[in-house]
Homo-oligomer: A and B are copies of this chain.
Amino acid sequence: MGAGITNFGRREASWKDLVVEAGKALFDDVPNLDKKDVDSFFIGAAQPERWTYQTHVAPLAAELLGIKPRRVVARTESACASGQIAIRYAWLAVASGLSDVAVVVGVEKMNTKFMNLSQTSMMNVGNREFDTAMGLTAPPYFAMVAQRHMHLYGTTEDQMALVREKAGEYASANPYAQFQKKISKEDVLNSRMVAPPLKLLDCSGITDGAAALLITTEEKARKFTDTPVWILGGIQRTMANSINEMGEMSDWLSLRYLAKDVYDLFNITPDDIDVAEVHDCFTISEIMEYEELGFCKKGEGGKFIEEGQSYIGGKVAVNPSGGLLANGHPLGATGVRQAWEMVMQFRGEVPDKRYVSGAELGLAHNLSGMAQFHHIMLYSLNRPREVKFGR
């Protein structure tokens, strides 16, 4: 894979500008690429039709990038995980042999002059006739998850604040992140309450940004780079969508079973994961994910970070990029940014402070909506064994 990224933040740039900027960064990263060889294009974007009044973005973005794909072209949408789904489509297109050279872009322009529209449009993500119509948007939902987790397992606001502190620590060495400032645990605890127990600094941002990848065959990749990064692949799971069908809020069964399927399918264990980019849309999310991904036992996520197990040098380096909390979360871009981070980590092209030395296997996790739907991709420094998916 080749990879490119834009600065994340409140950008004075349109979604088109962001696509072009990420594309330029990508094409600069693979100077030997002839754009004429790009035969497929995938774009992950959550709501350009509401935030920028533009749909049918795939052919328009292809034109902006100067490519004329002739095999597979798609825009994928799944709210917060729109980017990873684009990667999965590209992976299958290349793995099947239908495509040789695929470009993936994830993009979102969320900060608009009509900020109230941006905010209320997030209501579209939940079941709007039931859940979000009753006010159950993301902050209150994740707040309830946190409350249940505190009640059942004794997780503390301090432990959640540590997740944000860690994110800021690593993001201080990430020049693309929206929030590069170091944030102390106390800063988090003293920030404005949003939905108890979640405070402002427990939440990720409203962000503009884009990221881009080149996905190709082994043979072609060797022409572009001496250090190709491998996509092992990945899958997704959704077991229920409406909140009343999801059961105990502090169990994310879709993620628990998804992780098990991923480990079985690719014949690995959680212990094999060296670096993980997980979907820390709120601090409690990352704690839940330690558990459901099997990095620690259920209920011990708070202790896991308290003991330093999710820091670089701990059991598994989680979110060395700064995660969503510090990078910000431009919905369609996030999954692609995670893949960009894997490429940079495996190449050793990140500052020492956030470099996971010796990492060989990486996991990228997204959730979308109210954590109804989970998504995992695996990336590797080494050529993987061929996986037959049980057929």
The residues of A with any CB-CB pair to B shorter than 8 Å are 46-47, 49-50, 53-56, 58-60, 62-63, 68-79, 85, 88-89, 92-93, 95-98, 100, 121, 123-128, 217, 233, 235-242, 245, 257-258, 261, 368-369, 372-373, 388-391
Report whether B241 and A53 are in contact in the complex, using a CB–CB cutoff of 8 Å: no
What number of copies of this chain does the assembly contain?
2
CA–CA, A125 and B127, complex, Å: 25
Kindly identify which residue among B76, B237, B388 contacts A74, using a CB–CB cutoff of 8 Å.
Answer: B76
The 3 A-B pairs at the shortest CB distance, nearest first, are namely: A63-B241, A56-B79, A59-B238
Report whether A47 and B55 are in contact in the complex, using a CB–CB cutoff of 8 Å: yes
Report whether A74 and B78 are in contact in the complex, using a CB–CB cutoff of 8 Å: yes
Give the chain B neighbours of A47 by CB distance below 8 A. 49, 55
Give the chain B neighbours of A79 by CB distance below 8 A. 55-56
CA–CA, A391 and B77, complex, Å: 30
Give the chain B neighbours of A46 by CB distance below 8 A. 55
Give the chain B neighbours of A76 by CB distance below 8 A. 74-77
CA–CA, A95 and B94, complex, Å: 12
Report whether B373 and A98 are in contact in the complex, using a CB–CB cutoff of 8 Å: no
Report whether B73 and A238 are in contact in the complex, using a CB–CB cutoff of 8 Å: yes
Report whether B78 and A236 are in contact in the complex, using a CB–CB cutoff of 8 Å: no
CA–CA, A368 and B58, complex, Å: 11
Give the chain B neighbours of A390 by CB distance below 8 A. 97
Report whether B88 and A58 are in contact in the complex, using a CB–CB cutoff of 8 Å: no
Give the chain B neighbours of A73 by CB distance below 8 A. 78, 85, 236-238, 373
Beyond A54-B124, A68-B238, A70-B237, list 13 extra A-B contacts (CB 8 Å): A49-B49, A55-B124, A55-B125, A56-B79, A59-B238, A59-B373, A63-B242, A70-B257, A72-B92, A73-B237, A74-B76, A97-B389, A98-B235
